Structure 1
Amino acid sequence: MKPPLRIAILECDTPPDDIVARFGRYGKIFRTLLETAADGLGSGFSKNDLDLSAYDVVTEQKYPDLESIDAVLISGSKHNSFDNDPWILKLVEFTEKLLKQDRIRILGVCFGHQIVGRAAGVKVGRSEGGWEVSVLPVELTEKGKEIFQQDSLSIHQMHRDVVFEYPEGVEKLGASPRCLVQGMYKKGRFISVQGHPEFNEGIVSYLVTMRNKQGIFNTEEAKDALDRVGKHHDGVVVAKAFLRFLLEE
């Protein structure tokens, strides 16, 4: 695939108002990440080689014209990837359609990673291992080390739902004690991660504090997450891997 890379960002949720005010909706948050990664990719590639657009697939249920894009990025969400709400079924159907063709490539993040798994025919659901929250390590496979171009990975997490198994023909990228399917790769088709490369300390701090007040995280869980929230994370590393995947012939 040659630049400009025309990437449609499917917004599967809207962040809380305070996060929108500081960082924007998910379209803008991913734009910030991908432009940073593009400018650091080298080989003459830059953010000027990106053509990014965003679509609200929850409320507006809008989708891009496939002729006008080269790739789709499916964002994270507070919603459950295994639910059967009309907008989720529409998203799964759209993803299935993408998987049946071979030009447009897919990037999946957290909920989006799970939607790719569901569309590919494997089980997604609630993990008995519980939540993964804030910066945590992912143990990379040999393929994961090749894709991310380093031996280990640290990434923001915010999930308790998982993909339980790998679709046929899909390569494993990494695992953690609470989530054995941390990343999926199929050459020329899709790459996905369970973590949140687009998150930062400000976003995760806000979400953890909010969910503590809501009773989703108890005080001990929230403190543990906040103790790790400022640690180094490899969000840009993951985004660079996404772009290299799109540029692969």
Structure 2
Amino acid sequence: MSTLSTVLITGCSSGFGLETARHFLDKGWRVIATMRAPREDLLPISDRLRVLPLDVTDAGSIRRCIQDAGPIDALVNNAGVGLLSPLEGVDLANAREVFEINTLGTIAVTQAVLPQFRQRRAGVIVNVTSTVTMKPLPLLSVYTGSKAAVNAFTESLALELAPFNVRVRLVLPGRAPGTSFGDNARRLMGDGVPEAYADFTQSVFAAVRNTTTPVTNAIDVAAAVWSAVTDPSTPMRIPAGADAVALAQA
């Protein structure tokens, strides 16, 4: 069992981040759960829990959060947003928002915690991406690009942090219909789908909503993150969810 005891998790207002915070609390860890608009009622009351505001696209917010958090032993970059749309219908402002949150947000928060990890020569960073980076899917070109960039960033970062005894891992969830991904993705769809893509888009939406095939549950991701943080023997890429595991083994 690892001796690490404090984890900071981004994007804890729902879905994977919320369940991961609960999981670490259940395991006896001190948890710093961050979200843009903090809500104390989302998690169990505990003297091991702190809920802090964090906007991963705002440098000042990141700086204040890391200062308020104090020493941490593990960072879980989970905050993210989806975008489900044909590329031709994507507003570039929305595409930039996806990359600002998913990619640059992950990079910025990681950069902010590196000095303390490097100085202590200890720490773990876990970045949550997606299995869409393993198997291309339609209508997700921008989202997949943002997550694939994090994969490459993570694997390169792991090499430069290894001399400081800092581990870096990836958790790749599968399709999770029960999360807010779909709502967020449709919000960024903008004014709608170009007519030429309407029928195709509807068929993809139906497949996304289908729960008769294996899917990923939030607890699957929480358990994978737990393994990544506490077990040094885990591989660089850890699939999370029945569909993710099946895809990784294919």
TM-score normalised according to structure 1 size: 0.49
Structure having the larger proportion of residues in helix: 2
Please identify the structure whose Cα radius of gyration is greater. Answer: 2
TM-score normalised according to structure 2 size: 0.49
Structure having the larger proportion of residues in strand: 1
